[in-house]
């Protein structure tokens, strides 16, 4: 528990989702060690790990190499097997408190390790993404009642607690994540959602919509104007500028991923604002040598397997950097 | 008026929440067996906003039996939770007014008070910015007003100095007036700290208690009826119910006054841009409005706002943000600091100021009845003036109601060192603390680095918070850039486990705001 203890690694990877695991495996195959893979959660797998296997559940993770759609948890289990074949040191429940660009040191805190400073020759951010907040979307205002959820919270309730939070949902957003939220709510016992987005047609593509049609058929509402969430205690309606009031007992604000680039920004690495995109050369390395990013932290919305292969690919750049 | 001074000297008061069984921790749920009707209270304070809590704090320094009655499920749930979080010097108040006097004297004592209460506060100073020749001319008048208000430590700055102090303000700036003692503070902790100290000195606190009527108003012992069947007997009633003060005053037919909520919307920027500004940046006030400011927050964000929208009487829950309001804030603050336009906003909120048509700081002692005090119209400066206003009210009661109060020499006036919030003094920076309790190393809120240990400490704190919002205001969990994307449900689970109630009973801010919709039927899954 001594915070002055300095662990030294060739590479520290921040984030043990598909991209972080991909890069760990890629580095191991490239003969790099020791490698540390850390995550703030209590399990590896990042967001996909939250999509647990359920009897009447809906698999939503397309695994192209197997031409199958799996549950996130199943895909993470494949990754875990691959990872177990490497010597990667995995530390869970570890939160990075600060990053020092000049010395390539990170300070982390965890219940097992206490507070420690780790040093590495190269540091890789595989921190994933989160959903844009309500206000950050720029077209949703109103009150702040209970039961306005992000998709992650919905997952934590539905899959983590077997607990359905709303019967009549309105979903704000219309991408693949929004459709999967609608479907998950439907099979948990909610009615078909009303889906609303500031777009002429749903952002999810027709093939994706066709896939989810088996489970849910949300009522699509195109809306060009801002909306407001209403309800003094619990969520009651979503109101549109033209006077429509969509009645509901909960709202899911879904999709629109934002990269978790804050650690990189805090370290003084280049991140553009306000979209929080890391400024990268060749989609993976910062202008400062030895600093890399992989997976959804580079921006955009990519599937789990894309992130894994991106990690594998970026691993080659990291190996090049370390062995040049 | 002689009080029985039945002080429970050295004994802490109790906290109870009025709700159905299973809606909060059974240990703090109000039950009919709880002692409420034995002896009348000396004083009942109606409303646990920052002024009500400060009153409880100041009264708890005397030998008196006080009860604080609040209809919400936490202190500071109304106007006190949504404001600009600034401790004002009163430099721009109406000189000679009671507001000016109270704010000015309170601002001098605040650094000491914040230390006592363990409330984070930082003196950043403020700069009033002038962007035109006309505005520049007004600076001298504002400076004079500031001096008239007793704030003499200000200085007029030329454009070069302003640009040097604040490189990110609009380069067209013509000059400014610097007021060095303007400060930023944790606005939530103020009400909580006042109430916690009062509680430890013997004040009883009843949450979820809505006043229905007040009877025996002309008797020495009056009765406040709450939640239809509870009776609270007391000698003195102080109505500090803020937006609801009119409704409470109607119960004793108090002197006429009119409340129009004045809405103020705010935008909160991500911590990534905190370094853009150093001072609180204020525009030149116009006749109509003080304008929209840009202020650093004690938490490390930047906030901008507020709007000033007068709403009709009774719009007490109209704390909506609106697209127009937020755009209005952006338009004027981006003009002051153009770099803000490229920065991410993480949240927006709105508060309702208690705006009284008959003037601010509307105070009536013996309001139509001996022993009933009305205090309302406390608008933007209530956070600053709170404890000075409380002392003013106590002095007034002594003079005008002949109230005889004896100091309680055993009373505490501060919180323990351990009360500093974790976000201010992170437990993970304390090696021994972290080693002795690994929970301080398990982060629940990733954005603000708030651990499960801190959540537990807050839940075990004297006011024993029962809602997720109450926990959030004490710890900052859920207040970061992801706005609960990651920690939302873990926080609900933490409250559920600590209060030993079902998931469906956990609320955001008390009964009715359940996180699980009541429309969801229990179903076999």
pLDDT digits (tens, 9 = 90+) for A53-110: 988 889 999 999 889 999 999 999 999 999 999 999 999 999 999 999 999 999 999 9
* Structural domain contains residue A79: yes
CATH code, domain with A146: 3.50.50.60
* Structural domain contains residue B512: no
In the numeric block, the tokens 């303000």 are attached to B169
Domain shared by A114 and A171, yes or no: no
Q: Which of A258, A317, A262 lies closest to A14, judged by CA?
A: A262
Distances (CA, A) of B9 to B28, B131, B220, B471: 22, 58, 24, 30
Chain B interface, mutation test: which of A165, A187, A255, A263, most B Cβ atoms within 10 Å?
A165
* Structural domain contains residue B515: no
| Tokens (6 digits) for B203 | 């004040």
**Beta bridge mates, B126:** B179, B280
Residue B10: Cβ-neighbour burial (10 angstroms; 0-12, 13-18, 19+): exposed
**The predicted structure's pLDDT at residue B525:** 41
How far apart are the C-alpha atoms of A200 and B440, rounded to whole Å?
48
Domain shared by A276 and A198, yes or no: no
Domain shared by B99 and B237, yes or no: yes
Domain total of chain A = 2
Chain B interface, mutation test: which of A56, A98, A234, most B Cβ atoms within 10 Å?
A234
pLDDT per position as a tens digit, A268-297: 999 999 999 999 998 799 999 999 999 999
The verdict on a CB contact (< 8 Å) between B517 and A40 is: no
Q: Which residues of B are catalytic?
A: 88
Domain shared by B313 and B388, yes or no: no
Domain shared by B76 and B57, yes or no: yes
* Structural domain contains residue A216: yes
**The predicted structure's pLDDT at residue B11:** 86
Contact B314, B258 (CB under 8 A): no
pLDDT per position as a tens digit, A101-159: 999 999 999 999 999 999 999 999 999 999 999 999 999 999 999 999 999 999 999 99
* Structural domain contains residue B400: yes
Smallest Cβ distance to A156: which of B342, B489, B516?
B489
The verdict on a CB contact (< 8 Å) between B441 and A110 is: yes
In the listed set A253, A286, A310, which residue is the last one of a domain according to the structure? A253
How far apart are the C-alpha atoms of B515 and B520, rounded to whole Å?
11
Domain shared by B38 and B166, yes or no: no
Domain shared by B154 and B267, yes or no: yes
Residue B497 is part of which domain span?
A: 425-505
In the numeric block, the tokens 């809602």 are attached to B467
Smallest Cβ distance to B523: which of A134, A147, A189?
A189
Residues of A in contact with B520 (CB under 8 A): 164-167, 189-190, 249
In the numeric block, the tokens 């710890």 are attached to B475
Domain shared by B243 and B310, yes or no: no
* Structural domain contains residue A265: yes
**The predicted structure's pLDDT at residue B524:** 39
Residues of B in contact with A232 (CB under 8 A): 317, 512
CA-based max dimension of chain A: 64
| Tokens (6 digits) for B262 | 């004045």
Residue A265 is part of which domain span?
A: 6-130+257-323
CA distance B398 to chain A (A): 40
Classify each residue of B381-414 as buried b or exposed e, where b means 16 or more C-beta atoms within 10 Å of its C-beta.
Answer: bbbbbbbbbbbbbbebbeeebebebeebeebbee
Contact residues for B438 (Cβ-Cβ < 8 A; gap 6+): A111, A112, A114
Smallest Cβ distance to A135: which of B317, B345, B489?
B345
Domain shared by B369 and B461, yes or no: no
Cβ–Cβ pairs < 8 A, chains A and B: 176
CB atoms under 10 Å from CB of A216, counted, come to 22
* Structural domain contains residue A1: no
| C-alpha of A283 from chain center | 18
Chain A CA closest to residue B523: A189
How far apart are the C-alpha atoms of B447 and B487, rounded to whole Å?
9
Chain A CA closest to residue B453: A111
**The predicted structure's pLDDT at residue A3:** 45
Domain shared by B197 and B337, yes or no: no
Contact B46, B237 (CB under 8 A): yes
CATH code, domain with B264: 3.30.9.10
Distances (CA, A) of A245 to A165, A194, A198, A241, A252: 21, 12, 16, 9, 16
How far apart are the C-alpha atoms of B26 and A73, rounded to whole Å?
38
For helices B382-400 and B98-117, the axis angle rounded to 10 degrees is: 110
Cα angle for residues B294, B298, B299 (degrees, 5° grid): 105
CA distance A156 to chain B (A): 6
Contact B90, B179 (CB under 8 A): no
Domain shared by B69 and B126, yes or no: no
* Structural domain contains residue A10: yes
Domain shared by A193 and A290, yes or no: no
Q: What average pLDDT does this structure show over A35-48? A: 97
In the listed set B370, B393, B420, which residue is the last one of a domain according to the structure? B420
**The predicted structure's pLDDT at residue B437:** 95
The verdict on a CB contact (< 8 Å) between A165 and B517 is: yes
Domain shared by B133 and B30, yes or no: no
Domain total of chain B = 3
* Structural domain contains residue B516: no
Contact B195, B205 (CB under 8 A): yes
| Tokens (6 digits) for A237 | 């309606």
Q: Give pLDDT < 50 ranges for chain B.
A: 7, 524-525
In the numeric block, the tokens 């700036």 are attached to B173
Domain shared by A157 and A174, yes or no: yes
């Amino acid at each position: 528990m001594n915070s002055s203890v300095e662990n030294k690694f060739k590479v520290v990877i921040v984030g043990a989702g598909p991209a972080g695991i991909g890069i760990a495996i890629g580095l191991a195959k490239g003969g790099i060690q020791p490698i540390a893979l850390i995550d703030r959660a209590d399990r590896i797998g990042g967001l996909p790990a939250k999509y647990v296997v359920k009897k009447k559940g809906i698999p939503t993770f397309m695994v192209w190499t197997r031409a199958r759609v799996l549950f996130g948890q199943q895909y993470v289990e494949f990754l875990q097997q691959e990872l177990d074949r490497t010597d990667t040191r995995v530390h869970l429940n570890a939160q990075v408190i600060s990053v020092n660009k000049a010395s390539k040191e990170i300070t982390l805190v965890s219940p097992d390790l206490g507070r420690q400073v780790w040093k590495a020759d190269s540091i890789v951010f595989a921190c994933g993404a989160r959903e844009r907040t309500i206000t950050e979307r720029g077209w949703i205002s109103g009150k702040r009642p209970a039961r306005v959820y992000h998709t992650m919270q919905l997952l934590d309730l539905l899959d983590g607690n077997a607990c359905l939070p709303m019967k009549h949902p309105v979903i704000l957003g219309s991408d693949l994540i929004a459709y999967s939220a609608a479907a998950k709510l439907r099979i948990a016992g909610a009615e078909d959602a009303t889906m609303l987005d500031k777009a002429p047609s749903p952002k999810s593509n027709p093939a994706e919509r066709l896939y989810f049609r088996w489970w849910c058929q949300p009522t699509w509402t195109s809306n060009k104007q801002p909306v407001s969430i209403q309800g003094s205690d619990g969520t009651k309606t979503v109101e549109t500028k033209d006077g429509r009031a969509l009645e509901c007992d909960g709202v899911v604000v879904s999709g629109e991923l934002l990269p978790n680039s804050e650690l990189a920004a805090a370290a003084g690495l280049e991140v553009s604002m306000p979209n929080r995109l890391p400024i990268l050369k060749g989609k993976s390395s910062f202008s400062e040598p030895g600093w890399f990013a992989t997976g959804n932290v580079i921006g955009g919305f990519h599937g789990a397997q894309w992130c894994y292969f991106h990690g594998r690919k970026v691993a080659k750049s990291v190996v090049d950097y370390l062995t040049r | 008026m002689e009080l029985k001074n039945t002080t429970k000297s050295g004994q802490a008061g109790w906290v109870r929440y009025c709700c159905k069984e299973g809606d909060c921790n059974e240990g703090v749920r109000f039950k009919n067996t709880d002692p409420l009707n034995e002896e009348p209270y000396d004083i009942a304070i109606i409303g646990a906003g920052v002024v009500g809590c400060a009153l409880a704090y100041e009264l708890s320094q005397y030998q008196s039996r006080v009860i604080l009655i609040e209809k919400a499920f936490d202190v500071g749930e109304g106007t006190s939770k949504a404001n600009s979080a600034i401790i004002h010097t009163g430099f721009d108040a109406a000189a000679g007014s009671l507001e000016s006097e109270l704010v000015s004297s309170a601002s001098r004592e605040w650094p000491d008070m914040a230390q006592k209460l363990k409330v984070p506060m930082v003196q950043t100073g403020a700069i009033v910015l002038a962007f035109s020749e006309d505005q520049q001319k007004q600076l001298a008048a504002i400076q004079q007003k500031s001096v008239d208000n007793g704030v003499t430590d200000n200085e007029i700055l030329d454009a070069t100095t302003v640009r040097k102090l604040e490189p990110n303000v609009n380069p067209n700036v013509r000059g400014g007036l610097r007021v060095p003692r303007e400060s930023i503070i944790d606005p939530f902790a103020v009400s909580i700290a006042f109430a916690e100290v009062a509680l430890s000195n013997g004040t009883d606190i009843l949450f979820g208690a809505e006043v229905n009527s007040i009877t025996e108003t002309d008797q020495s012992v009056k009765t406040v009826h709450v939640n239809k069947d509870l009776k609270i007997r007391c000698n003195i009633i102080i109505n500090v119910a803020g937006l609801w003060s009119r409704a409470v005053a109607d119960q004793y037919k108090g002197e006429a006054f009119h409340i129009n909520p004045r809405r103020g919307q705010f935008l909160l920027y991500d911590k990534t841009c905190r370094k853009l500004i150093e001072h609180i940046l204020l525009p030149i006030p116009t006749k109509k409005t003080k304008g929209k400011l840009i202020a650093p927050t004690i938490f490390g964000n930047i906030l901008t706002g507020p709007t000033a929208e007068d709403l009709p009487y009774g719009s007490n829950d109209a704390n909506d943000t609106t697209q127009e309001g937020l755009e209005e804030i952006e338009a004027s603050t981006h003009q002051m600091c153009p770099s803000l336009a490229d920065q991410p906003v993480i949240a927006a909120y709105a508060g309702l100021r208690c705006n009284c048509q008959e003037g601010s700081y509307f105070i009536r002692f013996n309001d139509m009845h001996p022993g009933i005090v009305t205090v309302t119209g406390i608008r933007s400066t209530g956070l600053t003036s709170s404890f000075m206003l409380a002392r003013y009210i106590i002095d007034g009661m002594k003079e005008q109601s002949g109230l005889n109060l004896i100091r309680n020499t055993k009373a505490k006036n501060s919180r323990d060192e351990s009360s500093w919030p974790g976000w201010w003094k992170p437990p993970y920076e304390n090696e021994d603390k972290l080693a002795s309790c690994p929970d301080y190393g398990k982060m629940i809120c990733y954005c603000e680095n708030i651990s499960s240990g801190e959540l537990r400490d807050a839940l075990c704190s004297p006011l024993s918070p029962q809602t997720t919002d109450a926990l959030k205001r004490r710890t900052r969990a859920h207040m970061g850039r992801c706005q609960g994307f990651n920690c939302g449900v873990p926080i609900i689970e933490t409250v559920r486990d600590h209060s030993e109630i079902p998931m469906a009973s956990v609320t955001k801010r008390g009964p009715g705001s359940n996180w699980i919709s009541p429309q969801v039927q229990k179903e076999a899954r």
